[in-house]
Structure 1
Amino acid sequence: MRVHIATDHAGLDLSQYLVERLVAAGYDLVDHGPETYDALDDYPAFCISAALAVREERERGLDSLGIVLGGSGNGEQIAANKVAGIRAALAWSLDTARLARQHNDAQVVALGGRQHSREEALAIVEAFLAEPFSGDERHVRRIGQIAEYEATGAVAGKLEGLRPREHPAAREA
């Protein structure tokens, strides 16, 4: 499996550790992050580059996933999610990593380099990479609705009838 990884300065040490461990485990790694530490670097270009590569390879039928790292993983997840067709999930546990693949068919996992030990981060990434998408109809349907909205700005029959409701407790305040 090809794995694209990207980070900024906040995840650089973790990225190097993950690359070493994943290569040793047999993964084909492509690094989209910086080569040297720069406290003023910006994560969006690195993360978008990795997400674009994952999308391109998956469109060609290749087995490809991605990892984006930063201090919290939040901004990196947001950047990767701006690539049309990519679903990036912030994982903070083994369960959230597995569910991102099982239920959401996420192709990119985001982690906070300042939130986990090296060993914990490696376990989360390995869980994400090893977990297949379940293919369950309900998950396929939901992913389809997200893709439809991404492409058209609408979810057929779903948004028109929704009426936001004010919670009764809010009226009492």
Structure 2
Amino acid sequence: MVIAIGSDHAGYELKEEVIKYLEEKNIKCIDFGTCSCDSVDYPDYGLKVAEAVKEGKCDRGIIICGTGLGISMAANKVPGIRAAVCTNSYMAKMAREHNDCNVLALGARVVGTGLALDIVETWLNSEFEGGKHKKRIDKISEIEKKYIYIKE
């Protein structure tokens, strides 16, 4: 498994901790930045991670900003990306099992490092159940298709 990971400045320190955790578990990751606590725009990093997952360069992605909200909104604009902000392990488990979440979003100002690593571990070790949940994911895909070609 290869994990794409990216953050804005608010998520930089947590991103570095998550990278260490992944390396300790022998999980390959590709860091899409940012590389410091200097102010940057979260949509840029949400997009980089989402595109890496969409294009198949990475199996899943992890994105981090202050709350996880803004960066997940940006990532979810990429068709086929199902980014979920998780603030506890139960949410991470359900995001994978029921929603086939392929990008985990974390809020560095919301969860501490220990909880964040537990969320990551749960998310990595959970699998999509399919069945009735597949039908619902297919409906999400149909919504994307309906609006993908609309010009504003």
TM category, shorter: over 0.9
Displacement of 1:152: 1.9
| 1:68 partnered with 2:67 | no
Which residue of the partner structure matches residue 25 of structure 2?
25
| Gapped regions of structure 2 (runs ≥ 5) | 148-152
> Hey, what does 1:152 align to over in structure 2?
146
The percent of aligned pairs where both chains have the same amino acid is 39
Alignment of 1:42-121 (within 5 A): 42-57=41-56, 64-121=59-116
**1:4-19 superposed matches below 5 A:** 4-19=4-19
1:81-120 CA distances to partner (integer Å, 9 max, x unpaired)?
0111110011011100000000000100101001111111
Q: In structure 1, list runs of 5 or more residues that go unmatched.
A: 154-173
Q: Which has the higher contact order (CA 8 A, sep 6+)?
A: 2
Q: Is the 8 A contact 1:32 1:47 kept in 2?
A: no
Query: Following TM superposition, where does structure 1 have runs of at least 4 consecutive aligned residues deviating by more than 3 angstroms?
Result: none
Alpha-carbon offset, residue 36 of structure 1: 2.0
Bigger radius of gyration among the two = 1
When the two chains are superposed, the root-mean-square deviation of aligned CA atoms in Å is 1.2
CA deviations 1:19-60 (Å, max 9, x no partner) are 01111101101011211221x2101011111011011117xx
Q: In 2, Cα distance between the equivalents of 1:13 and 1:45? A: 18
Write the distance in 1 (CA, Å) between the matches of 2:78 and 2:112. Answer: 29
Q: How many residues align?
A: 147
Partner of 1:134: 129
